[in-house]
Structure formats: structure tokens, C-alpha cells
Structure 1
């Protein structure tokens, strides 16, 4: 669908040039005079459930391109009989609340987009969108928003500056945007959209309505210096640091980002994890420089999930090559722009110390009607290891019609280290076909060469891997009116995994069902069976282990607040039989997260997880494995108090207690068989603690004062001690490896 706003806006050029249009007041109150000349939209259709039927509650929206930015207003009719759920949340927070969404593809080519969310309480979420429906909320943009409320419903206004994203140059003074608008009524779970597409569909970003607007351009020069001081009561020392981020956007077709000594996000701590697997833990990145315009470099590759990618920005400033700390990022630079019909990007970062690394990336894309091409080259120089790693990438996407979507990526790595060269390649393809009537199919194929090396700059869970997966999906939306469910989304999947060496890892069969309930909650259930096969990672290159059939069962349920109750509850339960004991000796897991909302501004949360693993198989060096009886108890609790629109107080406590006792020791023989041996492998215990009290004051948009008290510690012990998981959990509260007071000030100057 294509809508021509350009003609109507030219006809209203006098209004655009008037003080009212230039001074559009974003106050949440929709003034007809201010929105004169805007396109009015009222054809919102149900997309949750995805019936595309008429909505139960009317929604009106207005879309207006102004010299100051893209403006959108929502009028959400909601009488007293339909409860309104509001709750203040931190930026990018997740809560079951009434909200509206603006999705924008500024180039209208379906390659990259942005999502701007405003809740009834005027809290916000902003994310980038790549690969049709992959969302990343690490990025924070500078845009305006406001809400208001009355007896008949509530309203929201947004203003998105044109400099917020790089945009391709246009020749005729007209820009074609991809736009979707939607609204969520939290008490019923109903989502209505224009156009009627949902982000879980294979084609989302490329299915937006095309809207033509005048090709406005804005410039921006923003400098954000920061200073941070830290005092440690345990180490009896302190530290002071300073740096700055710079964003220069003379126009949409050229944008420059730079940083000196970038802040590593000291006030945004990572979640506590316990990881004994052969795959590293993935962490997000909230550093402003590394999230600004980063979506252009986000090329997912190497896994069916969304974590694997060719550029993993946490590598920059990550653990040093000598293993003695984190890299000191001296400076970094990023360019994004367009020229001659091509989009381009350049990334460079330097770690200045003697064990530092240099990171480089160059990417270019070209898009045509329904077809797009992209290519990227990355290089990492690692002098301490005498290593240079180059990666070459080529990607394509083709959407010939609304039914088909085909995406593919080819990758090659070329690594030289200490005079030795290692080269290999990989590729992936994903084919989606919408058959209509709620049915769709997907075929996904992946090849990762044995010597493919991507983790100098990227994040790849493993190499030496081949994966083929077929998925048949069916969406059911015509459920009876008296059903507790509004819709079901069924998936039936079959897959095969094997290594490049010809080792059969497993075949798998899975059935999943995701249900949307009429109480505003949702439900997820999955059953997956893996055939007998091999584990070629667990021994870290010291043999391939034969493993029996495996069973995985998972259930999740969200019960939101109902009928004025302050309580909500999230439940997860799982059974994972992936050890040597077979299906009868699986790991059981239960997670409960009750939340209590004292008011719209004060909420208490507490997530408790208990896991019992009677046959937890771990690597213990060489070809030796240990099967453990293990119990773990995890607590993630805290409160959030939004004192006013500028001030926030957050308290968070994370604690882990784990107790593992040896059940049996094994050696893996040359044929891959686990042989029980009488060898001493010690029991072990783990304790982790993370505690933070953080006060934040918003001085101006993207300008903050933080005061944080942080205490943490971890303990790993081996040896036989009859303590139990309860004792480990309680003793975790006594950990005190560090106890810090942190003060950080950052202020964004716009010139």
C-alpha cells in the first residue's frame, strides 16, 4: 500500500511554514489546529490475535512530516469498562501495560527500521529492527513524547527528528518511508495495527505501508562528555575516569560517531551467570557509541537464534589477550552514509595499551525493488598473539511477493597467526513461504566450516557444524468467544545436526504452541525429542562423546494484573534430559516471579529459580567427564521507584547458590563411548552475589547523574563438604569481593 502525503503536504505548505507547524507542541493533547494537514489513519486491524478483523476499540492516528521531524499522534478510545494498565518503567523496560508503537523504515527498502514505543504512563522503549523482525533495545535515541488521559480514553504524541537515523539521499525532493502503527490494550492482550502485519511474521519490516513525504533534512552536532569516580571499600582505593562521545549528523546521508575513552556502562551491570559449557555467554552492549547506527552492521549469522553475529561490540574493550583484564579503548570512529544509491558504513576502534587490539569494519548495501545486496569486510589486529583475522561477508534478501521471503549469507575467514594461515567458509539460507489460511513454512540451512574463525570480532556459538531445519506453522484465531484463549500459534519442526567431519550430532523433532489469552497474558509450551547422537563440544577437542536420546519439555505462563489486583506472576517450568542417564534422569527447573505494584511509580519484583539436576555432565579436563547431582537456587529481586519524571531509584539483588556432588566419573574412549572409571573428581560449590542501589537523575535528554552503591563477589570451592544448596545460597549474602560507591555524570551538549 502506498500513500501520498507529499501532495497534501505541499498543499498545506503555508501551514507547515506557520509558527503552529514549526512549534508543534508535544504535550499529549491532540490539537486539531496543530495537526492540520496530517494524514488521518483509522483502519487498525487485529494482529493479536492475528485475525486481521476489525478492532474492538477504535484507534485514530495522525501522521505529519514537519521540518522538525516525523510527528505521530494516537487517539486511543477506551471506555471505563476496559481497564487501563499503567506502570512507570525504566527505559526499554518490559511490562504488561497499555502502549502505542511507531515503526519507521526511513529508507523504505525493508532493510532496517526503528521502533518507538510510548506507554500510557509515558515511559518509552526504542529499538532497532534488522532482518525483518530482529529487535535490539540496546540503542537509545533522542526523541520527544507525551501522553494525556480522559474519561473516553488516552492520547499520545511523538516527534522523531530526521537526524535520528541515516537516510539515503533522494533526487526528487520526496522520501518514501515504511510505516507501521499499532496499539496494545494490555488488559485483553489485543493488538491492532496499520497495516495488519505482526512482528512474528516472516515478512514484517518489508510489509510496512509506504508513505511519501517531503525529503526534510536536519543537522545535529552533539557532544556528551562524562566523568565517573569510583571508591572501593574493600580494595581501599579509588579511580577517576573521563571520556566523551561525539555525534555529528550534517544530514541524513552522512553521519559520524566518535568516542574517546568510551564509558563501559559501569551503572548497567550484566546479569549473574554460571556457565560451565563450551559456549561463551552472550551479553548486550549499552555503550552509546557502540549502539548508535550499529544496526547497519548487524549481520546475523551462524545460528537459528538471534545472538550469533559478525560484529559483537563487546569484543571491543573486552578481555585482553593476556587474560589479565579488560581492554582500554582509546578511541573509536564510525561513519554511516549513502552515495550513488549505495549505503555504506565504516567502523574503527583502537585499544591503546601494549596488549591492545585494532578493530575495523567496512560495509556496503544496495537495494532494489524487492531485492537487496550487502557485503562487509572486518579485520582485527592482535599484536600480542601475532594474529590478524579477516572476515569477508556477502548477503542477499529477496521478497518477490507477499508470500515468499528468501535471505542468504556467505562468509569466509582468513586468519594468520605466528606464520600459520587458516582459511574456511560458511553460509546460511532461510526461506519463508506463507501459504495463507494461517499456514506457513520455513526452511533454514546452515554450514559452518571446521576452520571458520569469526570470534575475533563476532559472536559464533560454534564452528564445524551443519544444520537443516524445516518448520510448519499454523496460526489459529477463530476460537470460540467463551474460550480463555484468543489465539494459538502451533509449530511442528524437524531438524538434523552433524559436523563437517561427518559426525551425526542429532536429529530433533519439536512441537510448540504459543497462546495469547483473553486476560492479556500469554502461554508457551514446547516438547522436543533429540535422537541418540554425539556431543562433539563437551570434551573441548579431546574426543567425541556418544549420547543417548534426549528430551526437553518447557512451559511458560504470564498472568498479568487483573481486576485492580496489584499482583502479576510469571511462571516457567522445564524438564531437560540431556545427560548420560537418559530420559528418566532429566533436570527439573521451576521459576516463579511475582510482582507487586504498590502504585504506578513503585513496583517490587522477586524472581526465584530452583533447579535439580540428577545427571549433570561436565568436562573435567582431557577426555575426562564427571556426572554430578546438582542443585541450584537463584534469586533476582528488587524494587523500582520512579520518584518523579526525572528521578528513579532502583534496588536490585542477584544471588546464586549451587551445590554439585559427584555421581560418576567417565573417560571417553576412541569410539566415543563413556566408560565409567573409579577416579577422584571433587565435588564443587558456587556462590555469586550482585547487589546495587542506584539513583538516577535525568538532567536533560540523554544526560544523567548516577549515584550507585555496588557490592558483589563470587566463590568457587572444590572438595567434599556436606553443606547443601540452601547453605550455599545463604552464604552468598556474605560475599564481599568488592564494595563500591560510584558517581557518574554525563551531559549531552547539542550545538
Structure 2
């Protein structure tokens, strides 16, 4: 949708300063060849965490110059070659290499580059709080060579991919190289550490480099066409992203009319609970140069959750709005980093657009970092203005102890609220691991204009202890991990919420399979979320037992199964059964099919005010994914999801102030189903230039009073299409 003159004037009014688009065309080529000056041949077994030294299994040669790091990795003793027809930019299931590079501008983020023997790659960012995200894309090149006895990869990763600590020509970069076995049963690392270890970022190798002043502009214009068959309507969108790297440590990024990128489909989730579903960001502008805003706390708290911008509003019944534009400025100094993000939405027929501002500053010390955050959101259709302020502190006391603490305060014209969290981990002798978590979020804490938190009105304490037995003198078991946990919680009304106790063990067996056994106990207590802020519901004590089995890689693929059973809610028996098969057809089509079934004799559903219905409930889901990659640059993906359930009424219950229930009548039976299908074709000209075509449809079906068979529910969901689209998008890198 083209931007009108009035809209552009509003955009400039929000920003307060004119946006100048600067176009610099750079033509740089990198040769995958070099004289390697350094070589590593000693690697450590980090999964399982035995730290056993392995030699003559893997070699890593590298050299660094002013432009890039050049590397050669040779897998001297590979595992059995397992071929998967996988797409690029997806984490591999078969044996592969990962390179972690950590520029000193932000020592809590690592840039990850993965390659397998099939000449497939992924890249992304690992954060010690939020894990691995593949949303980041970089410019780098590599070549893979295979033989019957070994395989190797040579590549070049330019320094201009990364922000640095300052504009100094002398820079320090940390790195780690790891080899992952099929299904990650075994991982070896160039350092006696890995991402699952406490203080991972302080145990890596160093490279010191001299680089010239970096200046670079990346421009990504796009065009998309979305045709909806339901109303025979087509929508054309033009826009683009500009990423201007002014120096090693300064960035200005601009996006005009960014597309929500309906190229990837979110997982189909049927959510009856009071908790909002969390979805990852997929738009390139909001994933690049964004890591400084990665502030997270307990209960899945994120101070900045960018899918809010242009996405679903918690306070309005609106699925999405178009974005006029957004800009971000980032700067990293010797001891501090700063960034500000500004975005504005388009007005539409349903509501006026919102305005967003997020600012962040982070200060480095010898042992940790201090961060300050401020978010401002204006929602004119509700006459709502919100402000969220946060402070966080990450402290590394030693190689064994880390502490993450933070505090947040929210302010609107209606309410003010605050909260804090404290998380710590203590790792002793690579065998004993202690994790501690305590947090308190007031009921009036409200950060969801731009942030995300799973729930508030909670005071909670969690402790987890894990003990690794690296070597067991038993013929079938290689190692064992035993874990125990306790979770005690209440709310600001000091209600007695259930205490949770858990015990689990993970076994790695010689056949290459893994087995997990777990048991969880819940005391009787109240559920303060079920009735959406009305009287809390008293539940009986419950328990659950879990068995998870993951096979080794066979010639046909891999098999996984899960069984969970126990007692829940008002003493109703429940079970969940899940089966997944990953296999390859015709040597080039990879499929992943998952089946799951959940049944409960006491499934609870809120029916308004203090009323709760109890059902005998069952739900079945099917998820089929097929990936086909051919001719290097062509990738095809097919995904088909079906979910169907039925509920037979047991009792309608009125909850009193003490949480006890009074049975009134029997609720009506009901059935539901949902279907989602996506076919996607991707043609990659380069890593950052691609053409997409997708065909999608989805539907929902609901019926009160009847509980149909699964086949009828599935067919009704497919017929009742509420979206039926063809989507075309092309995104170029200039």
C-alpha cells in the first residue's frame, strides 16, 4: 500500500526529524581461500558433559585479517552420513559444525554460523537469556567438500557483519567451534564450555584484529502481492529496509511500510486459557541490530516484544495494522551502548494507529553489565498512554556463579505497577548445577503495550538442582542427569497456590538413544488465572508422570515418543500421547509428521464471571511437514496442521469467595476443529535476496450440543475457510 502525503507528514511529525535515505553501492567479493596461521586439534566433549579430550576427530584452522576471518574445518572422523532434505536457515538434525563469534561490543550475544555436510547452512544469534534465534542473517561464504572418509568446509566471515565495542581499529573477538552429532547426542567444543554451561561467554578463545574504519549501507526493497480468494481482493505492498553502518560501532536503520512477511506461518495453537500465546518476531527490520533490547526476566518477561508493533493489541480487538515506518539508532562506546527505536502505525477503518518509542542504555563493568530501559506507547483510539521503565543488572561473580536481576515499573493514566526478578546459577565441578529464581509482579504491572509477560499478580520462588553422572559402569547407559525442582508461589492476596515438586532423570544409552523419566507432584491450592480475575478456584492435589524416548538416527530416519499421565484439576485422570517420525523419501524429500492426543476427565473452562464448566475432554492434533531442496537455490515447504476436540459436559460450577464450587447444572457438549495449510516455494539468489511464493488456507469449525467424529471435524475445518490466500514476495539486497 503506497504512502500518502498526509501519512508521510504524520511519520515525520512522530520522528521529529527528517529521514534522509543514503544509498551507497558496495561491491565486495570474498574468496574462500587463505593461508591459515592457527590450528586447533584438541576438542572437549561437552554433551554429555564429561569434558573428555578428543583429538584427531576435528581440526579447525583459521586466520584473521583486516576484512574477515578465514577458516577451514575438517571432520576427520565423521559419524554415519545422514542425509536430510532440509531448508537453509533451519537448525540441522544431522552432523554439523557451528562457529560462534562474539564481538566485544556485547559479550552476552554470539553470532552463530552452522554448516552441514550437505552444503546447507543457518546463521543467527545466541543470547544467554533468550537462546538461539535464526532471525538474523549475515553476509558470508563457504564451500563444502565430502569424501568417503571425511568432510571439510572452508569459508570467510567478514567483520562488517558485526557491531564492535568502539570505533577503534584494534578489536577483540571471542570464538568457539563445535561439532554436533546426529540429533545432538554428542557435542564436542574447542573450549571446555558450551552454551548450556554457566559463564559460557568467559571461557572462550580470543582473536585480536586490526581493522580499518567500517562504513556500509545495505538496502532491501521489497514488493509483495497478497490475493484473498474469500473476497477476491488483492493488496499490493511496496517498501524496504535501509541498514546504514556508519562505523564499527554506530548504526542507523530505517524501514518504510514494512511487510509483516506472511512467508512463514505460526504454529497452529488452540488456546482456551487466560494466558496469551507467545510468537517469535519474523520481520527482518525488527531482528537486525536489535539485540541490545533483549531484556528478559522471570515468567517469560520481555520488556520489548516487537510483534506488538503492527500486530495484535492486547487492549483492542484488532488483529493487525499496517506500519507507516520505523527507525532505530544504535551506538556502542568503550563502556556503554545506546539505542532508540521509533515506530508509527497507519490509521485504518477500525482504529487509529499507535506510536511506539523504546530507548535502551547499557553500561559495562569489569564483572557485569547495567541496563536502563524506557518504553512509551500512545494508543489514541483508547486515549491510552503508557510508560514502562526498567533497570537490569547482570553480574558474573566467577566462572561458576552468575546473577541476573531486574526491576520494572509501568505507568498509565489508569494504574501504576512494579515488579522485580532475581535469577542465579551456580555450577560446581561441571557436575553439580544449582539454579535459583525469585520474582514478584504486582497485579497492576502492565507492560503489554510493547512488552510481554506471561502472567502478573505473582510472588514466586523456584529452585532446581541437577547432578550429572558422566560415566556409569553399566553396559547399556553411558551417562545420567538427575534433576529436582521445587516451585512455591502465592499472589498479592496471599492465596494458597499449589506447590510444585519435581524429579526427573535423563539417560543416554549406548545405542545412541536417549530416555527421560519424570515425576511431578502438585499440592492442593487455588488457580487464580482460570476465572480471569474473579474468585480463585480451589483445585485438588495432582500429579503427573512422564516418559520420553528419542531413538538414534536410523537409515529411515528417527523416532520420538512421549507419554504423560496423572491426575489434574478436580481429581480427573488425564493422559497425553505424542509420536513423531522424521524420515526421508526418495533421498531428497524430508518429512516430519507428529501425532498427539490429550484426554482429561476433569478439563476446566471459564464460562464467565465466577462460573467454571467441567468436561470430559479430548483433543487430537496432526502436524505434517515436508521439505524439498533442489538445485542449491530452490526450496519447497509444505505444512498441514489439523486440531480437533470434543467436550462432554460434567458440571457447571459456581465458585464462591473461598474458592469452593457449587454444582448448578450440566453444561452443553461442544466440538471444535481448526485446519491450516501452507505451500511455500523459495528461490534464493543470495543469502539475503530471495523470491517467495506461498499458498495458504485455514478454517475453524465449532458446534454446540454435538461431538462429531475426528474425520468429520477435520473435514469441516477444511471446508470452513476463514482465510484463503496466495502470497508473492520478492526482497532484494542492493
TM-score, with length taken from structure 1: 0.90
> Structure 1 residue aligned with 2:723, among 729, 738, 744?
738
Q: Which residue does 2:238 correspond to in 1?
A: 242
Secondary structure of the residue aligned to 2:72 is strand
Q: Which residue does 1:574 correspond to in 2?
A: 564
Deviations 1:168-198 (A, max 9, x none): 1164x42122211111232882211011112
Offset of residue 224 of structure 1: 1.0
1:133–1:199 Cα contact (<8 Å) kept: no
Offset of residue 330 of structure 1: 0.7
Q: Which residue does 2:61 correspond to in 1?
A: 62
Which stretch of structure 1 is more off in the superposition, 607-616 or 209-218? Answer: 209-218
2:101–2:112 Cα contact (<8 Å) kept: yes
What does residue range 354-373 of structure 1 map to in structure 2 within 5 Å? Answer: 354-373=351-370
Offset of residue 289 of structure 1: 0.4
What does residue range 424-503 of structure 1 map to in structure 2 within 5 Å? Answer: 424-436=417-429, 438-480=431-473, 482-483=475-476, 485-503=477-495
Deviations 1:457-484 (A, max 9, x none): 111111110111111111111124732x
Offset of residue 547 of structure 1: 1.1
What does residue range 498-577 of structure 1 map to in structure 2 within 5 Å? Answer: 498-562=490-554, 565-575=555-565, 577=567
What does residue range 265-280 of structure 1 map to in structure 2 within 5 Å? Answer: 265-280=261-276
Offset of residue 369 of structure 1: 2.0
Task: Say if 1:272 and 1:213 are closer, same or farther in 2 by CA, change over 3 A.
Answer: same
What does residue range 42-191 of structure 1 map to in structure 2 within 5 Å? Answer: 42-55=41-54, 58-78=57-77, 82-107=79-104, 110-131=107-128, 134-169=131-166, 171=168, 173-186=169-182, 189-191=185-187
1:88–1:122 Cα contact (<8 Å) kept: no
Which stretch of structure 1 is more off in the superposition, 51-60 or 697-706? Answer: 51-60
Stretches of structure 1 lacking an aligned partner (at least 5 in a row)? 1-21
Stretches of structure 2 lacking an aligned partner (at least 5 in a row)? 1-27
Deviations 1:128-173 (A, max 9, x none): 22236722223233322321112331112332222222211164x4
Secondary structure of the residue aligned to 1:729 is helix
Secondary structure of the residue aligned to 2:286 is helix
Secondary structure of the residue aligned to 1:314 is helix
Residue-pair matches, total: 703
Offset of residue 57 of structure 1: 5.2
Offset of residue 325 of structure 1: 3.8
Which stretch of structure 1 is more off in the superposition, 321-330 or 359-368? Answer: 321-330
Q: Pairwise CA RMSD of aligned residues? A: 2.1
2:182–2:553 Cα contact (<8 Å) kept: no
What is the CA–CA distance in structure 2 between the aligned matches of 1:601 and 1:690, rounded to whole Å? 25
> Structure 1 residue aligned with 2:320, among 326, 330, 350?
326
Task: Say if 1:227 and 1:364 are closer, same or farther in 2 by CA, change over 3 A.
Answer: same
Secondary structure of the residue aligned to 1:375 is strand
TM-score, with length taken from structure 2: 0.92
Which stretch of structure 1 is more off in the superposition, 224-233 or 570-579? Answer: 570-579
1:448–1:463 Cα contact (<8 Å) kept: yes
What is the CA–CA distance in structure 2 between the aligned matches of 1:519 and 1:100, rounded to whole Å? 23
Q: Which residue does 1:41 correspond to in 2?
A: 40
2:503–2:518 Cα contact (<8 Å) kept: yes
1:189–1:519 Cα contact (<8 Å) kept: no
What does residue range 374-385 of structure 1 map to in structure 2 within 5 Å? Answer: 374-385=371-382
2:67–2:211 Cα contact (<8 Å) kept: no
1:663 paired to 2:650? yes
What is the CA–CA distance in structure 2 between the aligned matches of 1:722 and 1:58, rounded to whole Å? 58
Q: Which residue does 1:691 correspond to in 2?
A: 677
Task: Say if 1:621 and 1:246 are closer, same or farther in 2 by CA, change over 3 A.
Answer: same
What is the CA–CA distance in structure 2 between the aligned matches of 1:599 and 1:75, rounded to whole Å? 29
Deviations 1:483-502 (A, max 9, x none): 2x433222111121110221
What is the CA–CA distance in structure 1 between the aligned matches of 2:193 and 2:239, rounded to whole Å? 43
What is the CA–CA distance in structure 2 between the aligned matches of 1:586 and 1:200, rounded to whole Å? 35
Deviations 1:327-367 (A, max 9, x none): 21110111222135211111111112152111111111111
Offset of residue 673 of structure 1: 0.4
1:189–1:517 Cα contact (<8 Å) kept: no
